[in-house]
Structure 1
Amino acid sequence: MTTIPSPLFDVRGRVALVTGSSRGIGSVLARGLAQAGARVAINGRDPQAVADTCAMLEKSGCDVCAAAFDVTSPDGVAAGIDRIEEWVGPIDILVNNAGIQRRAHFTEFTDQDWTDLLASNLTSAFLVGRRVAASMERRGSGKVINIGSVQSMLGRPGIAAYAATKGAIAMLTKGMCADLAPRGIQVNSIAPGYFATELTQALVDDPEFSRWVQQRTPAGRWGRVEDLVGALLFLASPASDFVNGQVIYVDGGMTAVV
């Protein structure tokens, strides 16, 4: 396991839940916390995918457990979090990462795609955040990290609905801070830029789009998922105890320039 150089960034023994962590960015965030010594609940809708990710992480010495439940269902959230608390204890760190993408021109966007985006990207963070924060309030401490996007600030053709949900994540973060900060809880957001993952592979492989990303990003490249782990550990650890209601853009400088 990774040696923690400073108690400021120590998350050893903390219980963490990362929603949507059976694949993609979520699995990397879960691995980062686990490698730093946290006990991490792996979540997703597909029990087999969750079990496979747990098995992979356990092989590298990570302390993880499977928590397959639907984060868009109030009953599913309540039952799933009850099981986590029964198995490993109260959740100290919540990472609201679950989300999907749908692309279409605004006037051609379907009602069902709009409903699905709201449920997966926004309602899930509300439902899981509300349930976990209630327990954190009773203990007077906790860390909530909501995963936003550069689309929390910027728009692009074809993803108006997605941008709306990610903009809402930024404001949900601030609203949660207003309610929860007096109870000793820090709520912040990480907003990734354009990252190369299995879900964005088609865009990575598109020469024109990749060229646009590289030119638009001051760092001159796509993000690597490991680039997110440092910001996550900062927000999940005592180092961020006086940081609250903030959106941290991990985007290679994209939102800093025109």
Structure 2
Amino acid sequence: MSNTGTFVSTTLVDLFSLDGELAVVTGANQGIGLAMATTLARAGADVVGVSNSMPTGPSEVRSAVEEAGRTFTPLRADFADRDAVAALAADLAAREVDILVNNGGTIRRTPATLHSDADFDVVMDINLRATWVLSREVGRTMLERGHGKIINTASMLSFQGGINVPGYTASKSAVAGLTKALANEWAGRGVNVNAVAPGYVATANTADLRADADRSQGIIDRIPAGRWALPTDIAGAVLFLASRAADYVNGVVLPVDGGWLAR
């Protein structure tokens, strides 16, 4: 009985180990992306962190990755710039990337009748087109090697319509569809494509919303778990999808929302 327990325990640890793997995390400079990069490093992966404002020197994400005993490579790219995305994709395709986390994103909040074409286009470029280009180019190299994990960041608005965020909802709905389309093509060739759909997360981006006591309490009342998510809640789901434990998981858009969508 003792031997069986030891075997199971060791096997589970191995399933979640990322030792020797290279993970790319976009939007890694803060918030959810920072937590993702830190968690993957603690599981054993070296990390390439990408952000429009990624410092080339000291940074919080670099410190977190290096404190975990892994190497950190900072890359800077503006996802609204198509040439910059193409250059980044070529750079990453030249590396042996095992895990690609497409987390970089943006949002524009205006009623639909006031939502400009420019705002719509920039949101679609950053949230969707960059995810597509990076997935295609890095995915091609994964297919050549016969293994890889791609995890996209979708949203609750991949399932719902939202209010005053038509561009964001359109982009995140498309991210969910793209995740499934790529999974259909690549699952049988050793590349897993999945997505996480975060709920309301306590980050700097939601500070104003959380500071509104009535609005924040209204959100909490709607969440069965009774609290806002922490960035580490999302990172834990990403670790699962990046690990061997998820080798038979394909085309899933996994809500990490405290039960919001089940309500």
Given the two structures, how large is their TM-score scaled by the length of structure 2? 0.90
State the alpha-carbon separation in 2 of the partners of residues 39 and 9 from structure 1: 15
How far apart are 1:49 and its partner, in Å?
7.1
Match of 1:11 among 3, 14, 18: 18
Is residue 2:41 matched to residue 1:34?
yes
SS at match of 1:17: strand
Within the alignment, does 1:66 sit opposite 2:79 as a pair? Answer: no
Distance 1:197 1:136, change over 3 A: same
Closer/same/farther in 2, CA of residues 83 and 169 from structure 1, 3 Å limit: closer
Give the structure 1 partner of residue 115 of structure 2. 109
Q: Is the 8 A contact 2:154 2:173 kept in 1?
A: yes
CA distance in structure 1 between the partners assigned to 2:171 and 2:239 by the alignment: 25
Q: How many Å separate the matches in 2 of 1:53 and 1:82?
A: 26
Pairing partner for 2:87 from 63, 79, 83: 79
Partner of 1:230: 236
Alignment pair present for 1:151 and 2:165: no
Q: Which whole-Å CA distance do the structure 1 matches of 2:220 and 2:164 have between them?
A: 20
RMSD: 2.0
- TM-score, normalised to structure 1's length? 0.91
- Contact preservation (8 Å) 1:71, 1:128: no
Q: Which 5+ residue runs of structure 2 have no aligned equivalent?
A: 1-9
Q: Deviations over 1:116-150 (max 9, x none)?
A: 11011101100110110010010011000000111
Residue 203 (structure 1) aligns with: 209
* Bigger Rg, structure 1 or 2: 2
Given the alignment, which residue of 52, 61, 82 partners 1:45?
Answer: 52
What is the alpha-carbon distance in structure 2 between the residues aligned to residue 183 and residue 71 of structure 1?
28
Quote the offset at 1:112 in angstroms: 1.0
Distance 1:25 1:67 in 2: 17
Q: Alpha-carbon deviation of 1:6?
A: 1.4
Equivalent residue for 1:161? 167
Q: Distance in 2 between matches of 1:69 and 1:23?
A: 15
SS in 2 for 1:41: strand
Secondary structure in structure 2 of the residue aligned to 1:6: helix
Give the drift of 1:229.
2.1
Deviates more, 1:246-255 or 1:204-213: 204-213
Distance 2:92 2:214 in 1: 44
CA 1:82–1:165 in structure 2 vs 1: closer, same or farther (change >3 Å)? closer
The alignment status of 1:177 with 2:179, answered yes or no, reads no
Deviation, 1:236, is 0.3
Q: Taking structure 1 as reference, are residues 201 and 69 closer, same or farther at Cα in structure 2, changes over 3 Å only? A: same
Displacement of 1:15 in angstroms is 0.3
Q: Is the 8 A contact 2:24 2:47 kept in 1?
A: yes
Letter in 1 for 2:208: A
SS at match of 1:172: helix
Distance 1:168 1:81 in 2: 20
CA contact (8 A) 2:128 2:175 kept: yes
Q: Which piece of structure 1 moves more, 58-67 or 37-46? A: 58-67
